[in-house]
Chain A
């Protein structure tokens, strides 16, 4: 009987093996078919993005992804390398002498993707819709200053401000909310803040197919007025996990991965060293900064702030933590932004002895047999807050902790969620914090504005600066200046003062990365941090 039982079992197991192998065989054939069909589409560039592209509403924020919005919708003015502002949907513009009236001459050969004309009427309609929700867009300085929108004629549009505000042109280059939706995209009640009927824009791409959380396919807008993109289609696969993105890229399912923090630094280095792919790194898009709250007693003394700067090897830390993908920063804003290249600040190099001397000088002495400095019996203890989900901030915080321990400074590092980090910063409830500026096309004016405004953290953090009131006045004056030379001088003074007084320490310049297959060519990073990089890109398969 046992023999018979054995043979039955053998039969049973063989049956399972047979079924499973048949299934596997089936998979092999079909998946091969799938992968060939993927690679067959010569004119389609496939890339991955961590989040769903969203609703493609040019007038609201979450969840629409900026790069995708910029594929469909266009601005009046576009931001180019070095902060140059070039005509886009507006062929030219005139600014009145008092800096309040902006007259735009619109490009005449532009049509929306549904064939309707782009003209001053639709520009006004978009502006008026945006202005209905001023609160929603008040972060963009010029929005709150708009007094009037007018159609002068079919191709001329005029914007009147309540007071002069020089960054207006620069702010018109942002990806949202001031881009133009075609008439057919407006909902019945005209209120786009609750949704759009369909994504109709003038841009080089049209959304062809979209499945939420899965993928989006953009096809080339054959009637585009400008330079026609080289590839016919862009497929954006939504892959939330960075490691999976790398694996999909290695398999050949993706042609391109790009962005800030799109994949881990290790993965980038590893892909680079294989030599099988092309990689590139952008110019600085922002500066990683360390903000010191001078309201806190220990940090109110300039000597302590300077000692902390002398006390760590910035270059070694940046190279070590970011594997050289970020670059040591000498200025609080990258110098490839407007008005930032002419800043003269005192460079603080790594000098432990000087740091110790400064601390001694400030009264923080190291008692015998102790490791932490004290003043009036109080130990020199500081807290650094970082975003616990951000590996770079965490590693930098740990490096600072050990570097400063050698000076006799006890650094307590506290990892918090991003929302908590922002809230505590705004409530001025921090001692040291990481921050990074907004990038192109927002800076330098947005960064300077944030420093000058109450309730963002900076204004309060610099409260012990002796020249604080003067600084705040200069910050308030900058956007109102109509004289270019005066504006440059103001920016230089403000940025020099902010940095020399040591409350805002530049650490490194943040850069974007891109990895692409060898058959992809002409990849360049857009000058505008939020724009798409697809127009010139081509692919040969």
Chain B
């Protein structure tokens, strides 16, 4: 088990290096020169001398491989450079905005679990019942409606018309409700269907019949056997969505004026703030990698066969 975990952690390094290489390539292939972008963000008239001076300052006049290695060294020290717009270290700016984004992401994950686990489970064990139809309708709605549109609808009904929640901002838990619902809706749609399918599949398994014939209480069968096993694919889905969720907050943060780093990223794109874009892409890559790792470890805990397979290969 230990070796499996170690192996998985070691695998992060090449993946992350690939991500840095892609980001680096992306920025250097872009038609916009970072030095030019810096000057235009600062409203400085770009003459050839200033451009050359800035290129030298940013190390852009060095060979590409030197630039790449330097950027890797800096990234390892959490040094993502200075924002072209605010003139402050990017890492400070990002970490200042990170808690708000994490709060929103956690809020919507919790909401998604709270809604989709009971709903998916009930829809599975009560196929074609009212609750099953309801779950189908909700999933259809959640999967097809664009986040920004749902956000506006929620604001319109629950803030403007009913005056239940604030329109925008952050601070109290009421502020968290509408953005979390908006962000959680596609997840609810996905997890409910995933859990329902998984429950239905498990109900067909011989061990259910066996358990019933042994006279085990239905509640125990459902809770201890069906739900526990059926929930496994949902955890995979959850892990795959964790990274997506943090990056997906961009739209929701803009609609609800949530002061997170998604919004910061949008502004960075408009301003061609290259160090911020670079930092964001790498963070997103890191989140995807780590969340997938965590999910695998949880899966391993639920289903120990996974680690055993890994161990046997040793």
A→B interface (CB under 8 Å): 1, 5, 8-9, 12, 16, 24, 27-28, 30-32, 34-35, 51, 54-55, 60-63, 135-136, 138-139, 194-195, 211-215, 237-241, 243-244, 247-248, 250-251, 253, 418-420, 422-423
| Given A63-B86, A136-B44, A243-B152: A31 touches B166 (CB 8 Å cut-off) | yes
In contact, B164 and A239 (Cβ under 8 angstroms): no
Instruction: Check: B167 CB closer than 8 A to any chain A CB.
Output: yes
Number of A-B contacts (CB under 8 A): 117
Closest to B44 in A: A136
Q: Which of chain A's residues have a CB closer than 8 A to the CB of B36? A: 423
At the interface with chain A, which of B62-70, B137-145, B255-263, B288-296? Answer: B255-263
Q: Which of chain B's residues have a CB closer than 8 A to the CB of A248? A: 167-168
Minimum distance in angstroms from B108 CB to a CB of chain A: 15
Bitwise interface map of B from 87 to 107 toward A, beta carbon under 8 Å scored 1, else 0: 100000000110000000000
| Bound CA span A71–B126, Å | 64
18 example contacts (A-B, Cβ-Cβ < 8 A) are as follows: A5-B219, A9-B122, A16-B118, A27-B165, A30-B172, A31-B166, A35-B166, A60-B42, A62-B85, A62-B271, A136-B43, A195-B87, A214-B169, A239-B168, A241-B257, A418-B270, A419-B37, A420-B31
Near A by CB (< 8 A), chain B positions 119-167 give 122, 126, 152, 155-156, 159-160, 163-167
Pick the residue among B32, B87, B96, B167 that contacts A251 (CB under 8 A).
B167
Pick the residue among B43, B87, B257 that contacts A240 (CB under 8 A).
B257
| Bound CA span A16–B118, Å | 10
Identify 19 new A-B residue pairs, CB closer than 8 A, beyond the known A28-B164, A247-B160, A419-B40.
A5-B219, A8-B219, A16-B118, A27-B177, A31-B163, A32-B163, A55-B86, A60-B42, A61-B42, A62-B43, A136-B43, A138-B44, A139-B44, A238-B257, A243-B152, A244-B255, A247-B155, A418-B270, A420-B32
In contact, B172 and A34 (Cβ under 8 angstroms): yes
In contact, A250 and B257 (Cβ under 8 angstroms): no
Pick the residue among A24, A34, A420 that contacts B166 (CB under 8 A).
A34
Minimum distance in angstroms from A499 CB to a CB of chain B: 26
In contact, A212 and B41 (Cβ under 8 angstroms): no
Q: Which of chain B's residues have a CB closer than 8 A to the CB of A215? A: 169
| Bound CA span A419–B273, Å | 12
B→A interface (CB under 8 Å): 31-32, 36-37, 40-45, 50, 85-87, 96-97, 118, 122, 126, 152, 155-156, 159-160, 163-170, 172, 174, 177, 218-219, 254-257, 259, 263-264, 266-267, 270-272
| Bound CA span A423–B39, Å | 12
Q: Which of chain B's residues have a CB closer than 8 A to the CB of A12? A: 118
In contact, A213 and B264 (Cβ under 8 angstroms): yes
In contact, A31 and B122 (Cβ under 8 angstroms): no
Closest to B267 in A: A51
**Which 3 A-B residue pairings sit nearest by Cβ, starting from the closest?**
A213-B259, A61-B43, A248-B167
Q: Which of chain B's residues have a CB closer than 8 A to the CB of A250? A: 160
| Bound CA span A394–B270, Å | 18
Q: Which of chain A's residues have a CB closer than 8 A to the CB of B160? A: 247, 250-251
Q: Which of chain A's residues have a CB closer than 8 A to the CB of B85? A: 62-63
| Given A240-B254, A420-B32: A214 touches B43 (CB 8 Å cut-off) | no
In contact, B168 and A237 (Cβ under 8 angstroms): yes
| Bound CA span A213–B100, Å | 11
Minimum distance in angstroms from A396 CB to a CB of chain B: 22
Closest to B37 in A: A419
| Bound CA span A34–B172, Å | 10
Closest to A54 in B: B86
Q: Which of chain B's residues have a CB closer than 8 A to the CB of A139? A: 43-45
| Given A12-B118, A136-B44: A247 touches B167 (CB 8 Å cut-off) | yes
In contact, B45 and A419 (Cβ under 8 angstroms): no
The interface centre, meaning the residue of A34, A139, A195, A244 with most chain B CB atoms within 10 A of its CB, is A244
Q: Which of chain A's residues have a CB closer than 8 A to the CB of B166? A: 31, 34-35, 253
Minimum distance in angstroms from B283 CB to a CB of chain A: 18
Q: Which of chain A's residues have a CB closer than 8 A to the CB of B122? A: 9
In contact, B50 and A135 (Cβ under 8 angstroms): yes
Closest to A251 in B: B160
Closest to B49 in A: A135
In contact, A419 and B32 (Cβ under 8 angstroms): yes
| Given A8-B219, A213-B263, A422-B40: A31 touches B45 (CB 8 Å cut-off) | no
| Bound CA span A32–B159, Å | 11
In contact, A247 and B152 (Cβ under 8 angstroms): yes
Minimum distance in angstroms from A56 CB to a CB of chain B: 12
In contact, A27 and B163 (Cβ under 8 angstroms): no
Pick the residue among A30, A237, A241, A423 that contacts B174 (CB under 8 A).
A30
Q: Which of chain B's residues have a CB closer than 8 A to the CB of A136? A: 42-44
Minimum distance in angstroms from A192 CB to a CB of chain B: 12
| Given A55-B86, A419-B37: A239 touches B257 (CB 8 Å cut-off) | yes
In contact, B259 and A214 (Cβ under 8 angstroms): yes
Minimum distance in angstroms from A309 CB to a CB of chain B: 31
In contact, A244 and B40 (Cβ under 8 angstroms): no
| Given A135-B50, A419-B272: A62 touches B257 (CB 8 Å cut-off) | no
Closest to B260 in A: A213
In contact, B174 and A27 (Cβ under 8 angstroms): yes
Q: Which of chain B's residues have a CB closer than 8 A to the CB of A32? A: 163
Closest to B171 in A: A214
| Bound CA span A51–B50, Å | 28
Q: Which of chain B's residues have a CB closer than 8 A to the CB of A9? A: 122, 126
Q: Which of chain B's residues have a CB closer than 8 A to the CB of A239? A: 168, 257
Q: Which of chain B's residues have a CB closer than 8 A to the CB of A247? A: 152, 155-156, 159-160, 167
| Bound CA span A28–B165, Å | 7
| Given A195-B87, A241-B254: A1 touches B118 (CB 8 Å cut-off) | no
Closest to A35 in B: B163
Q: Which of chain A's residues have a CB closer than 8 A to the CB of B256? A: 244
In contact, A237 and B45 (Cβ under 8 angstroms): no
| Bound CA span A222–B266, Å | 38
Minimum distance in angstroms from B127 CB to a CB of chain A: 14
Q: Which of chain B's residues have a CB closer than 8 A to the CB of A28? A: 164
Q: Which of chain B's residues have a CB closer than 8 A to the CB of A35? A: 163, 166
Q: Which of chain B's residues have a CB closer than 8 A to the CB of A194? A: 87
| Bound CA span A3–B29, Å | 67
Minimum distance in angstroms from B171 CB to a CB of chain A: 8
Q: Which of chain A's residues have a CB closer than 8 A to the CB of B87? A: 60, 194-195
Minimum distance in angstroms from B170 CB to a CB of chain A: 6
Pick the residue among A24, A34, A244, A422 that contacts B168 (CB under 8 A).
A244
Q: Which of chain B's residues have a CB closer than 8 A to the CB of A212? A: 96, 259
| Bound CA span A529–B170, Å | 32
| Bound CA span A423–B46, Å | 11
| Bound CA span A30–B164, Å | 9
Minimum distance in angstroms from A66 CB to a CB of chain B: 11
Minimum distance in angstroms from A122 CB to a CB of chain B: 24
The interface centre, meaning the residue of B50, B122, B259 with most chain A CB atoms within 10 A of its CB, is B259
